[in-house]
C-alpha cells in the first residue's frame, strides 16, 4: 500500500533478495547500474535521482536471478 518505499520484507531479506538498481535515460537506454548491497535501498534511490540527472527511471532487479521486481520513477 506504500508506493513510495520498498516493501520492508524485501529490504530485510538481503540474502534472498539481493538488489540491483539499473538506471535508464529518456531514450530507454541503460546508463547506470548499482548493487544495493548493505545500503538502504530507499536512501540509495533518493541519492541516485539527486546525483544522476540523466536517469529518468530505475528498474529494481534481483542481482542473482536478474528477475525484474519493479520500476521506480522520479516524483
Instruction: Please count the structural domains in the chain.
Output: 1
pLDDT tens-place string over residues 30-69 = 999 999 999 999 999 999 999 999 999 999 999 999 899 9
Do the domain assignments include residue 1?
A: no
* pLDDT at residue number 33: 97
1 pLDDT above the threshold of 80:
no
75 pLDDT above the threshold of 90:
no
Residue 35: what are its φ and ψ, rounded to 5°? Answer: -80, 135
pTM (predicted TM-score): 0.90
| CA dist list (Å): 64 to 9, 19, 54, 55 | 18, 8, 26, 23
| Of 4-8, 27-31, 43-47, the least confident | 4-8
Do the domain assignments include residue 2?
A: no
Domain region containing 24? 8-73
21 pLDDT above the threshold of 80:
yes
Do the domain assignments include residue 44?
A: yes
Q: 60's torsion region: left (phi>0), alpha (psi -120 to 50) or beta?
A: beta
| CA dist list (Å): 68 to 22, 30, 51, 58, 59 | 10, 14, 24, 11, 7
Amino acid at each position: 500500500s506504500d508506493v513510495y518505499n520498498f516493501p520492508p520484507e524485501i529490504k530485510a531479506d538481503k540474502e534472498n533478495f539481493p538488489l540491483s538498481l539499473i538506471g535508464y535515460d529518456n531514450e530507454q537506454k541503460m546508463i547506470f547500474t548499482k548493487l544495493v548491497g548493505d545500503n538502504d535501498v530507499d536512501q540509495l534511490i533518493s541519492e541516485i535521482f539527486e546525483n544522476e540527472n540523466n536517469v529518468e527511471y530505475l528498474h529494481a532487479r534481483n542481482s542473482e536471478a536478474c528477475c525484474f521486481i519493479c520500476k521506480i520513477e522520479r516524483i
